[in-house]
Structure 1
Amino acid sequence: MDTDLTPKAAPVRLKRKMRMEDALQCIGLNCMAQIEANLPGVLATSTESLHQMRVGLRRLRALLDMFRKLAPLPSGLEEGLDWLSGELGAARDWDVLADTTLPAITGIHTQALQAAAKERARVLHRDMLPTLHAPRFTQLMLEMNGWLRGRQWRPAPGLAKDDPLAQPALDGLVPLVRKAGKRLRKRIKALDERDAPSRHRLRIAAKKARYAAEFFRDLLPAKEVKAYIKRLSRLQDRLGRLNDLAVAARLMPVLENSGHSHDGAFAHGYVIGAADTESVGLRKVLDKLARRKLID
Structure 2
Amino acid sequence: MTMLTKTDLPVRAEPVRLRRDMTLEDAYRRIGLNCLRQIRANAAGAQHKSVESLHQMRVGLRRLRAALDLFGNLVALPEPMRAGLDALAQQLGATRDWDVLATSTLAGFDAAAEQIASLQVAAQERSQRSHAALSAALETPVHMQLLTEVEDWFEQRRWREQPDFDAGALQQKATRAAVPLLAHAQRRLRKRVKGLEDGKAPVEGEAAHARHRVRIAAKKARYAAEFFHSILPGRKMKRYIGSLSGLQDRLGELNDLAVAEGLLAQLAEHPGRNAVSREQIMFARGFAAARSAACVKALHKPLKALVKLRPVRG
* Shorter-chain TM band: over 0.9
Deviation at 1:3, TM superposition (A): 7.4
* Alignment match of 2:119 (pick from 97, 113, 123): 113
Of 170, 177, 181 in structure 1, the residue corresponding to residue 182 of structure 2 is 177
Aligned residue for 1:43? 47
Q: Deviations over 1:39-78 (max 9, x none)?
A: 1110110000000000000000000011111111111111
Aligned equivalents of 1:175, 1:200: Cα separation in 2: 24
CA 1:108–1:264 in 2, change beyond 3 Å: closer, same or farther?
A: farther
**Are 1:8 and 1:34, in contact at CA under 8 Å, matched by a contact in 2?**
yes
Q: Distance in 2 between matches of 1:237 and 1:178?
A: 22
Among 243, 256, 262, the residue aligned to 1:244:
256
Moved more, 183-192 or 140-149: 183-192
Q: Answer yes or no: is the 8 Å Cα contact 2:257–2:288 preserved in 1.
A: yes
Aligned to 2:280: 263
User: Paired residue for 1:68, among 45, 65, 72?
Assistant: 72
Report what 2:310 is aligned to. 293
The answer to whether the 8 A contact 1:50-1:88 is kept is yes
User: Contact between 1:6 and 1:48, CA under 8 Å: does it hold in 2?
Assistant: yes
Shift of 1:2: 6.3
| Cross-structure match for 2:99 | 95
**Residue of structure 2 aligned with 1:203, choices 207, 215, 224:** 215
Whole-angstrom CA distance in 2 between matches of 1:92 and 1:74:
27
Do residues 34 (structure 1) and 38 (structure 2) align?
A: yes
Preserved contact between residue 57 and residue 85 of structure 1 (Cα < 8 Å): yes
TM-score of the pair, normalised by structure 2: 0.89
Output the amino acid matched with 1:278: C
Segments of structure 1 that go 5 or more residues without pairing to the other structure are none
TM-score if structure 1 supplies the norm length?
Answer: 0.95
Give the letter aligned to residue 177 of structure 2.
Answer: G
- 1:226 lines up with 2:238 in the alignment: yes
Over aligned residue pairs, what C-alpha RMSD do you find?
A: 1.8
- From 160, 164, 167, give the equivalent of 1:154: 160
Q: Distance in 2 between matches of 1:203 and 1:67?
A: 20
Identity value in percent: 47
Q: Which residue of 2 aligns with 1:279?
A: 296
Q: Within the alignment, does 1:131 sit opposite 2:137 as a pair?
A: yes
CA distance in 2, matches of 1:24, 1:267: 45
Summarize the Cα distance change of 1:39–1:232 in structure 2 as closer, same or farther, 3 Å threshold.
same
Question: 1:17–1:169: 8 Å Cα contact kept in structure 2?
Answer: yes
Q: Which moved more, 1:69-78 or 1:250-259?
A: 250-259
Give the total of aligned pairs. Answer: 294
Deviations 1:223-257 (A, max 9, x none): 22111111111111111111111111111112223
Partners in 2 of 1:46 and 1:220 — Cα distance? Answer: 35
Task: Give a deviation string over 1:95-147, Cα, whole Å, max 9, x none.
Answer: 00010010111233212111110000000000112221222212201110110
C-alpha displacement of 1:269: 1.1
Task: Quote the Cα distance in structure 1 between the aligned partners of 2:220 and 2:173.
Answer: 22
SS of 2:85 mapped into structure 1: helix
Amino acid at match of 2:40: E
Distance 2:233 2:51 in 1: 36
Aligned partner of 2:56 among 52, 57, 80: 52
Q: Any idea what SS the aligned residue of 1:38 has? A: helix
